[in-house]
């Protein structure tokens, strides 16, 4: 038996008990006073959730909604502090105060969404609705945050590793048992381009939740610069699933010589930059490649080598059906 098995068993019992209390309305979910869509996952680690938050926000804004993204902002200095990351017109916080993913979203969604980082999303929603006249909330990473009532629950499942090792935290990566996917209003299977056949997974998901529509999605590079493709490159990132980023670069023809991964939400030091450039030179690379999430923490870094941000977006296989689901469900 794994030494962490008893902890995983205890964690599962606690999460099941908590879900039961919400299901029986012993614990109360609070309305946010406007249409609310949650984007979450059932496993820890990167599942392509942040690009989906951006896409859903763009769809809602395009439909005329006044959108606010509510996020905890993992990894920031004080997760209990409410931070207005963006008022919809300007980015008002940096990664340390607002969080790397909230700042990344704020930059992508200028003119489309207000972004607020606050661990108390119910209180933050009331504040944002009063201040900005919000008509639609998008909850980031909120499948387990049941205190905030939602109209739609979208769950991301990573096609390359849908349920980890099938074990709950801390023994595995599951945040709760897979049976709880029955709560989902829709399931988005991400990174579908990295597997050969999605049918076994979609069949399993349909068994777990026969009602929820299943959408297939791929990660694509937004506005690639073809002039960079032939230059030997060194890639680095601190995201939940770094290998998916490196594989995306290779599939798109980047001449990747080597790579380095950091922990998710890593804040870079000057020594990190020195080490990255040394490893890049040792691999004969001529430029560095990283993600937008990482670059928000590297604005003041002094690179000697060119450092390119590879922007990524999510591409839904049935975009019109997904748009209708988001706007009408």
Give pTM, 2 decimals. Answer: 0.95
Band (pLDDT 50/70/90 cuts) for residue 45 is confident
Band (pLDDT 50/70/90 cuts) for residue 228 is confident
Band (pLDDT 50/70/90 cuts) for residue 1 is low
CA distances to 36, 62, 145, 185 from 57, rounded to whole Å, are: 11, 8, 19, 17
Q: Which residues contact 211 (CB under 8 A, 6 or more apart)?
A: none
Please give the average per-residue pLDDT across 293-314, as a whole number: 94
Question: Comparing 5-65+135-219+315-328 with 226-310, is the CATH topology the same?
Answer: yes
pLDDT at 165: 83
Please name the CATH architecture into which domain 226-310 falls. 3-Layer(aba) Sandwich (3.40)
Work out the angle between the directed axes of helices 319-328 and 49-62 (0-180°, nearest 10): 70
Band (pLDDT 50/70/90 cuts) for residue 89 is very high
DSSP assignments along 300-315, one per residue: T---SS-EEE--EEEE
Report whether the peptide linkage leading into residue 170 is cis, meaning its omega lies within 30 degrees of zero: yes
> What's the rounded Cα separation, in Å, for the pair 85 and 73?
10
Listed by start position, the domains of the chain span: 5-65+135-219+315-328, 226-310
Q: Are 114 and 67 in contact, with CB atoms under 8 Å apart?
A: yes
| CA nearest neighbour of 46 among 85, 101, 126 | 101
Which of the 8 DSSP states describes residue 192?
G
Q: Are 91 and 103 in contact, with CB atoms under 8 Å apart?
A: yes
> What's the rounded Cα separation, in Å, for the pair 29 and 259?
44
Q: Which residue has the higher pLDDT, 33 or 224?
A: 33
Percentage of residues in the chain with pLDDT exceeding 90? 87
Band (pLDDT 50/70/90 cuts) for residue 109 is very high
Q: What is the mean pLDDT of the chain?
A: 95
Query: 5-65+135-219+315-328 adopts what CATH topology?
Result: Rossmann fold (3.40.50)
pLDDT per residue over 149-203, tens digit each?
A: 999 999 999 999 999 888 899 888 999 999 999 999 999 999 999 899 999 999 9
Helix (H) or strand (E) holding 128: helix 121-132
């Amino acid at each position: 038996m794994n030494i962490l098995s008893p902890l995983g068993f205890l964690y599962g019992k606690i999460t099941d008990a908590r879900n039961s209390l919400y299901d029986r309305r012993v614990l109360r979910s609070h309305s946010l006073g406007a249409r609310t869509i949650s984007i979450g996952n059932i496993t820890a680690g990167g599942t392509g959730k942040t690009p989906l938050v951006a896409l859903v926000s763009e769809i809602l804004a395009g439909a005329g909604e006044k959108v606010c993204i509510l996020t905890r902002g993992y990894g920031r200095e004080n997760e209990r502090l409410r931070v207005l990351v963006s008022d919809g017109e300007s980015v008002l916080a940096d990664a340390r105060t607002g969080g790397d993913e909230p700042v990344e979203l704020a930059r992508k969604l200028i003119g489309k969404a207000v972004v607020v980082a606050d661990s108390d999303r119910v209180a933050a929603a009331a504040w944002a609705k009063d201040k900005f006249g919000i008509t639609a909330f998008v909850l980031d990473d909120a499948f387990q945050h049941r205190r905030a009532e939602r109209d739609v629950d979208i769950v991301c499942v990573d096609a390359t590793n849908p349920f980890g090792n099938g074990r709950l935290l801390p023994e595995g990566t599951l945040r709760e048992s897979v049976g709880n996917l029955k709560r989902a209003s829709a399931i988005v299977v991400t990174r579908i381009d990295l597997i050969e056949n999605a049918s076994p997974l979609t069949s399993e998901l349909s068994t777990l939740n026969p009602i929820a529509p299943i959408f297939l999605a791929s990660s694509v590079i937004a506005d690639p610069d073809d002039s960079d493709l032939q230059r030997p490159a060194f890639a680095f990132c601190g995201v939940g699933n770094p290998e998916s980023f490196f594989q995306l670069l290779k599939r798109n023809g980047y001449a990747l010589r080597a790579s380095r991964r950091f922990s998710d939400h890593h804040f870079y030091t000057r020594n990190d930059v020195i080490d990255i450039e040394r490893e890049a030179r040792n691999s004969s690379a001529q430029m560095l490649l990283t993600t937008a999430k990482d670059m928000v923490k590297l604005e003041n870094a002094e690179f000697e080598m060119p450092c390119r941000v590879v922007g990524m977006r999510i591409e839904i296989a049935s975009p019109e059906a997904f748009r209708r689901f988001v706007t009408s469900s």
